[in-house]
Structure 1
Amino acid sequence: MKKIIIMLGMIVTSLSSCSNYIEEESLSNVPADATYKTASGFQLLINTNYAWLKSIYGGNPWLFESGTDMYAEGRTPEPAGLSQYALLIPTSDNVADLYRPCYQLIQSVNKAVYYSSVTEQTANLNTLLGEARFLRAQAYFLLVQTYGGVPIVNEHVTTPVLSFTRNSAEEVYTQIISDLDFALANVGTTAYSTTGRVNKRAVNDLLAKVYLTRGYESYGKADDFSKAAAYADAAIGGQTLAIAFDQLFKPGNDLNAETIFSVQYDKASTSTDPTKLGNNQFYYFSSYLGGAETGAPLRSYNLCPTDYALGLYEKGDARWNATFMTEIVEGPETTNGVTKTILYYPYYRSSNPASLKVRHFYEPKWFTPADKTAWMTANASRLSATFVYHPWGEYSAAHTLIKNLDCYTIPVKKFDDPDPTTPSSTGPVSTRDIIVSRLGETYLIAAEAYLKAGVPSTGLDRLNEVRRRAGVANATIGQFNIDYILDERGRELLGEYKRWFDLKRTGTLVARASAYNYKIKAANFVGVDGQLKILRPIPQSALDLNQNKDFPQNPGY
């Protein structure tokens, strides 16, 4: 294993709590070596590993979702390189957003691995080490999917190393699987909702994703897809999707029985620096726009759903109303003795929901003229004096080219936070958890793995469990292919930080992004050497710090 490290900045070792259950402690005035050699100090070190997840997932989500078929730019510009590819170069904005924090987490885990051999030996030491190695595998998995082969850094480095070599993507996958095999053998089985810590179910889930993703690559193994299916089934463990979809993302219900792994936040723990210690997920997807006088909490108008994303849903699909705020209501709220009619918050806070008026309604694609008439008649008494009816086809990201007004793209409500730590004027901060893995997705991973392993009937069964919960008819074996799975993943997982990886994994990034994103043409992907920009570029900041000038850049850049 090469002794290498990327020093892209100072690594801070003191963070706030990373979950409701995992509490950290400031060690700024205590010698780290002495502290980490105690059982309690080693526990704090492991907790810090979890906290680094906030740096990976809590900021701008461009590398997860931008430049795909599902989301496109609205009123507010997105980073041009990541969202449109034509201008994507190693110095583009936000290209390094995963590179640096993933290595910070890796280095934190490396420290834990080092101290595990010299700390107080306890009965749960390997359990804690298994949790840490799961987190390191998660970081490497994000890196290899995003940038391809990257340096493998597995030793605790205390002084900068300025020359490093790039490992192959195949070697990185071998490292990931090694970490996960160790984790699977050592982590506990207690329900995630009880402990908030990595358990065997989370490891099985990540192993399924890793084997599925490697299976598509030229260096993939013959049994990768069958292994992915087996690990997905182990993560499912016979559990059906029993929670109503609109309850999965209900504020306050993030730690439910279907949550497998998440980045956890606690409102109290962000109080010292709320604009940095919360996360931005609700800010980018829940575009409730308007002036401060309306009480609208957000000012983002990007990563808006495309016509393709909105058109995925059929009549009767419970995910439509659970995913989107199809009605924006208004109601009175009093602050400092002053009562105003505001948007958004009354939906969650009102003690008299029947009194709320509808300001905006977004017509679903299945509405007929008769349906519109029936809806208007049934809701006549609920309509605001400034009510706006948005016909189907007139509230997607692309429609902002025609009408660029507040609330003219439909908001995503899955990630709403009606109790943020700060007002919109001071920062887009949420303390809701970011769900990284949940049971519904695991069923879809199993569906894809069984299809690729040559057992489509079993894969179809897994996919139809997802559709059953949504309240729609089963898919048929004739419909069941990769495109259908991607459509189903779009319906189920909208906004959940999956889409770019889905398209990259399945080899559909160029075709789907250029077909469904109004800002992207297939030619945008053609790089300076004629090769396609399928991977993101290695950040120029990393190359500049490397004294080994033989480190190769990705194709297309």
Structure 2
Amino acid sequence: MKSNIKVLIQLCFAGLLLVLSGCQESFLDEKPLDRFSPENLLSNKAGFESILVALHKNARDERTLDRPDQMGTGTDVSTSGVADGRFMKDYRLVLPNDQIVGYYWDWAYASMLKNANLIITRAENPEINWTAEEKNQVVAEARFFRAFTYNVLVNLFGGVPIVDQELTAPRFDFTRASRTEVLQFIQADLEFASQNLPLVGSDPTKDGRIFRAAALHLLSEVYISLGQATKDASFYDKAIAAATQVLDGSAGAYQLMTKRFGDTSRPGDAFSDLFWTNQQNRGSGNLETIWAVQYEFLTVGGAEGQNHDLRWWGPQFENIRSPDNKRILVSDSIGRSQGGNRPTNYFFYDIWKDNFKNDMRNSHHNIRRVWIYNDKTSEFFGQQARYTVANGRAVIARPDGTPTTIAVDTLRWFYPMIRKIEGQLPAPLSGRTNNDQVRMRLAETYLLRAEAHIHKGNMALAAADLNVVRSRANAKPVEAADVSLDYLLDERARELTVEEARRRTLVRLGKLYERATRYNWDAKATMQPYHELWPIPQKAIDANREAVLEQNPGYPGAK
């Protein structure tokens, strides 16, 4: 009872203070005394740089959600290895209240666009102490990130609301722009960025920053999208021109890495070197990477252990048992993967048929197809793990091929592993690493220019660009007569799987439903054409009470 009375007295006293304070008109006046308020912080270049750091962190966050890579799973290259319907394994479960749908919407509007627009709007303050060049470079990097974000949104949801300035008060009246309008908005941002971002230099302390080549690379892709949306073929010429500025050195010195570099004592090849720990960036001698997001071990803000590529793209091999029932042990660079992104047979077999043994990207340095029993207490230590099918189910096989009774899950536990997700692990991180993630590199720029040539109908020039990439991989050249959009997508799968936001690539080309249902057994069973686009999150529709935020066709609530 005494404690209750004490609480009541405290509440009454607090209320009296509020009443007395309310008598002073200045009590509610906002005075941004904290040094991190925009009014105090954004007074010089250093202040704006701090918000740019937040934007880089926000951009990294797109891929740090502790779930399978939603841009890969449910497409032609990957399904989910889990037994239930999550993670795009069952498209019927992709609904307006789905967690991942809301995550991407909030990531875009509450993080990326908020910070980008804060910079862009506040940069117009004439009292800021900086040069015109410094201002333009800061705004250019912010506009790059705004364009990057809208390119994600338009290729996940279709047309979305365009917010082009800092919001200083709540709004409940957003409406959706068309896909073409969003693409045109992106175009304007990237054209500005490509003219005002600096050229790449040799300073390794700048690794991870956005340079002119990144804007031109993304602009090439967006021009292609505009060509498709408007049926104006001149956009394909613009896409070729933008990519060419990156490829011919006009936007800085980049090159395909055709020879080994970095830690060459490690077994590998020129392709595997691109992804090994501490070799993703220019500071390591890697001149192919255009943009890599940064992770730092034991560093505040470094997102320690938040690169989930290893966790989700590799099989849950720790559950594989030897014939004497001993596990494969988790160790060193192969980490502790969980089988969330299970590549399809299309990736593991179909795309390599013409050059299975010789294509470097399919070598044992880049795809781990053999698993070895590594428990020294097992009589099968050092021998290759194998399975066979007996009585309609997969079981572990003995060295002579005869079946055991030990069941094995070939969808989640036992399948080849794409090795660009591997790397040196500084500490046990539950399947996560601190490897920097490559988001753009020169090989894709060649493929974007090849794609633009395909849209123009110039298959000879498309083949020439494709063969630059294929030559590095020791793959046989493609003939112009064999070039098509599907062939290009096959080449992107060979070169870019894990790195590429495959879902967004297929959506922008109108190919997601067609190719997912052709190559992905789970998508074939559950996907409908309207699943090309994700639903608008229901919480965004409900909150927008002063205007109608229309739902995408096919989903609950759509007209």
TM-score band, normalised by shorter chain: 0.7 to 0.9
Which of 288, 292, 295 matches 1:258? Answer: 288
Alpha-carbon deviation of 1:213?
2.3
What's 1:324 paired with? 367
1:79-478 aligned at under 5 Å gives the runs 79=86, 82-103=88-109, 104-118=111-125, 119-122=128-131, 123-191=133-201, 194=204, 195-196=206-207, 197-217=209-229, 219-237=230-248, 240-243=255-258, 244-255=270-281, 256-269=286-299, 274=304, 278-290=306-318, 294-295=329-330, 297-311=335-349, 312-313=351-352, 314-321=356-363, 322-329=365-372, 357=382, 359-360=384-385, 403-404=409-410, 407-424=413-430, 428-478=431-481
What secondary structure sits across from 2:299 in the alignment?
A: helix
Report the Cα distance in structure 2 between the residues aligned to 1:405 and 1:482, rounded to whole angstroms.
29
1:515-526 aligned at under 5 Å gives the runs 515-521=518-524, 524-526=527-529
- Give the counterpart letter for 1:236 in structure 2: L
Q: Structure 2: where are the runs of 5+ without partners?
A: 1-32, 259-269, 320-326, 389-395
Report the Cα distance in structure 2 between the residues aligned to 1:267 and 1:90, rounded to whole angstroms.
37
Report the Cα distance in structure 1 between the residues aligned to 2:471 and 2:386, rounded to whole angstroms.
27
- Give the counterpart letter for 1:310 in structure 2: F
Which of 474, 481, 486 matches 1:483? Answer: 486
Alpha-carbon deviation of 1:409?
1.5
Q: Does structure 2 retain, via aligned residues, the 8 Å contact 1:192–1:260?
A: no
- Give the counterpart letter for 2:182 in structure 1: V
What's 2:11 paired with? none
Alpha-carbon deviation of 1:482?
0.9
Per-residue Cα deviation, 1:504-555 (whole angstroms, up to 9, x for no partner)? 22222222111211112277315xxxxx222111111211211135221112
Alpha-carbon deviation of 1:97?
2.7
Report the Cα distance in structure 1 between the residues aligned to 2:550 and 2:458, rounded to whole angstroms.
39
What secondary structure sits across from 1:153 in the alignment?
A: coil
- Give the counterpart letter for 1:188 in structure 2: P
Per-residue Cα deviation, 1:45-100 (whole angstroms, up to 9, x for no partner)? 222221111221222354311211111122454625x3332332212231223211
> Residues 28 and 192 of structure 1: is their aligned pair in 2 closer, same or farther, counting only changes over 3 Å?
farther
Per-residue Cα deviation, 1:329-374 (whole angstroms, up to 9, x for no partner)? 5668xxxxxxx789xxxxxxxxxxxxx93544799xxxxxxxxxxx
> Residues 405 and 177 of structure 1: is their aligned pair in 2 closer, same or farther, counting only changes over 3 Å?
closer
> Residues 463 and 310 of structure 1: is their aligned pair in 2 closer, same or farther, counting only changes over 3 Å?
same
Which runs of 4 or more aligned residues in structure 1 lie more than 3 Å from their structure 2 counterparts after TM superposition? 27-32, 60-63, 75-78, 191-194, 270-275, 327-332, 356-363, 385-391, 400-407, 420-423
Bigger-Rg structure (1/2): 2
What's 2:553 paired with? 555
What's 2:62 paired with? 56
Alpha-carbon deviation of 1:102?
1.5
Q: Structure 1: where are the runs of 5+ without partners?
A: 1-26, 333-339, 343-355, 364-384, 392-399, 527-531
- Give the counterpart letter for 1:100 in structure 2: D
Deviates more, 1:284-293 or 1:174-183: 284-293
What's 1:74 paired with? 81
Per-residue Cα deviation, 1:8-55 (whole angstroms, up to 9, x for no partner)? xxxxxxxxxxxxxxxxxxx97644421211332222122222111122
Report the Cα distance in structure 1 between the residues aligned to 2:145 and 2:401, rounded to whole angstroms.
44
Calculate the TM-score normalised by the size of structure 2: 0.77
Calculate the TM-score normalised by the size of structure 1: 0.77
Alpha-carbon deviation of 1:433?
1.3
Per-residue Cα deviation, 1:451-488 (whole angstroms, up to 9, x for no partner)? 11122211110001111011011011121111111111
Alpha-carbon deviation of 1:108?
0.1
When the two structures are aligned, how many residues end up with a matched partner? 470
Deviates more, 1:434-443 or 1:279-288: 279-288
> Residues 388 and 416 of structure 1: is their aligned pair in 2 closer, same or farther, counting only changes over 3 Å?
farther
Name the Cα RMSD after superposition. 3.1
> Residues 227 and 84 of structure 1: is their aligned pair in 2 closer, same or farther, counting only changes over 3 Å?
farther
Report the Cα distance in structure 1 between the residues aligned to 2:102 and 2:37, rounded to whole angstroms.
32
Q: Does structure 2 retain, via aligned residues, the 8 Å contact 1:274–1:422?
A: no
What's 1:9 paired with? none
